[in-house]
Amino acid sequence: MTQLFSAYSSRTSITLTPGKPAALERVIEILREHKNGDCYAYERGGEWYLGIGTHSSLAIDATGWTATVSAEYKGESHPVAGSLAGITRFFVSMHTDDTRKVFVYVGFTYAAHARGIPYTAGRWPLLSLMIQRVEVPFSRDKVILTGCDNVEVRGLADLINDTNSCDHTPIESIDTQDNAGEYTARVERALAKIVDGKYTKDSVIVEDLMSVRPRGSVQHLGSTVSGCLKPEKDPWDTLEVLFPSITASGIPKQAALEGIQRLEKRPRELYFGAVLLIHGNMTLEAALVLRTVFQDPVRQWVQVGAGVIAQSTPVRELTETGEKLASIAPFVVSETAK
C-alpha cells in the first residue's frame, strides 16, 4: 500500500500584537479573500483553526451511492462499497499523517444512511472531507502557518499582517415567522407519536448532568458521557454510533431518526449535522451544526429548530424557535463585493 501524502514543506510564524486587529478579524479577512475557494474555519476555546485550499478531498454524494476522491487536482468517482466510516478511514490513512489536521462536514442524513433508514436525499454531500493545502491555527497571541507551497504560505502571512479592522456591513432583516403554520403542524404530528409511546426514552449513566453552559447570547443545558474504545475500534466507529447528537435527533435514536424522515418534507442537509476536526488517527472532535446561516449559489437562509417532548405544545415550540432565530438575526449581514 502506497500512501499519497507529502509533509508540509513551508512554515512561518506570526506574533499577534496587542492593539492590532483581533484574531477574529483576521480570520474574517482570510475567509473573505478565499470565499470562492475551499476553506474551513473551526473555533474551539477562543482559538481558530483554518484550512485553506484543497490538497486532497473525499465526498460522498447525497444518496450515499457515489464517492468522489480528488488529489493533486485530479478527481475520480466510484460506487460506494462498504461502510462510509470504512471508506473515510481508508482515505485518511492514505492521504495524511499525524502532523496534519483534517476538516470534515457530515450531513444529518449520514446517520440514516449508516443505520439503513430510508431517507430523502438532498443536494449536499452526506460527507465532505478536505485535507488542506495550508493550515492556519490562530492562538491568542500567535499564528503558525504550515503548507505545501511557499508562495501560498507567504501570501497568507502577508494578508494576516496587512489586515485592518473589518468593514461593518448592513444588517439583514429576517422573517422569524416564516412557515409558521407548517411548523406547528409538524409539531402536532410529532406529539401524537409521542403520546402513542413511539419514542420511549432509554437511560444512560453520565458524568455531568444538565449543567448550564453559556454560549454567546444563549444558554444550553449539557451533560457529559465518557467511555473507553475497544482496541479494535476507532473514532469513526464511535461517530457511526453517536451521530447525530441527541440534541439533533432525540432518543431512542433509531426510532427518532425514522420519525424525522416521516415528518419532515425537506432534507436537513448540513443542519443538525456536524463539522469535524481530526488530528491523527485517534483524535476526532465533532461540533454540532445548530443555529446556522447558510448560503449556496441559489439562496441564503437561517435555520434553527426545537426539541419536541410530551410536554410540548405547537405554539410554544414555534415561539421558542422564533426566539432562537432572533438570537442570530442581529448578526446576519449582507455580502459585499470586493
Q: Are the CB atoms for 315 and 184 separated by under 8 Å?
A: yes
Instruction: Using the predicted structure, report yes or no on whether residue 241 has a pLDDT greater than 80.
Output: yes
Query: pLDDT > 70: what percent of the chain?
Result: 89
**How many Å is the Cα radius of gyration of the chain?**
21
The mean pLDDT of 246-275, rounded to a whole number, is 85
The mean pLDDT of 201-212, rounded to a whole number, is 67
Q: What is the pLDDT of residue 221?
A: 77
Q: What is the pLDDT of residue 78?
A: 94
For the chain, residues classed under CATH 3.60.120.10 are 10-162
Q: What is the pLDDT of residue 200?
A: 60
Instruction: Using the predicted structure, report yes or no on whether residue 2 has a pLDDT greater than 50.
Output: no
Q: Are the CB atoms for 151 and 12 separated by under 8 Å?
A: no
The mean pLDDT of 302-329, rounded to a whole number, is 86
Q: Are the CB atoms for 138 and 48 separated by under 8 Å?
A: yes
Q: What is the mean pLDDT of the chain?
A: 83
Instruction: Using the predicted structure, report yes or no on whether residue 202 has a pLDDT greater than 60.
Output: no
Instruction: Using the predicted structure, report yes or no on whether residue 118 has a pLDDT greater than 70.
Output: yes
Query: pLDDT > 90: what percent of the chain?
Result: 28
Q: What is the pLDDT of residue 170?
A: 66
Q: 181 exposed, middle or buried (CB, 10 Å; 0-12, 13-18, 19+)? A: exposed
Q: Which of 30-44, 126-140, 253-267 has the lowest mean pLDDT?
A: 253-267
Instruction: Using the predicted structure, report yes or no on whether residue 60 has a pLDDT greater than 90.
Output: yes
Residue 228 and residue 237: Cα distance in Å, rounded? 12
Pull the grid cell for residue 91: 482515505
pTM for this one?
A: 0.77
Provide CB contacts within 8 A for 177, sequence distance 6+. Answer: 322
Instruction: Using the predicted structure, report yes or no on whether residue 238 has a pLDDT greater than 80.
Output: yes
CA-based nearest residue to 131, from 283, 276, 296, 271: 276
Q: Are the CB atoms for 122 and 62 separated by under 8 Å?
A: yes
Work out the end-to-end distance of the chain between its first and last CA atoms, rounded to an integer number of angstroms. 46
Residue 253 and residue 264: Cα distance in Å, rounded? 16
Which residues make beta-bridge pairs with 128?
A: 59, 105
How far CA 194 is from CA of 199, 235, 306, 307, 313, in Å, comes to 6, 32, 15, 12, 12
The mean pLDDT of 298-309, rounded to a whole number, is 83
Per-residue pLDDT band at 58 (split at 50, 70, 90): very high
Which residues make beta-bridge pairs with 136?
A: 50
Pick among 3.30.420.10, 3.40.50.1860, 3.60.15.10, 3.60.120.10: CATH of 10-162: 3.60.120.10
Residues in the chain: 338
Pull the grid cell for residue 312: 410540548
How far CA 320 is from CA of 265, 304, 314, in Å, comes to 21, 10, 10
Per-residue pLDDT band at 19 (split at 50, 70, 90): low
Instruction: Using the predicted structure, report yes or no on whether residue 262 has a pLDDT greater than 70.
Output: yes
Instruction: Using the predicted structure, report yes or no on whether residue 46 has a pLDDT greater than 90.
Output: no
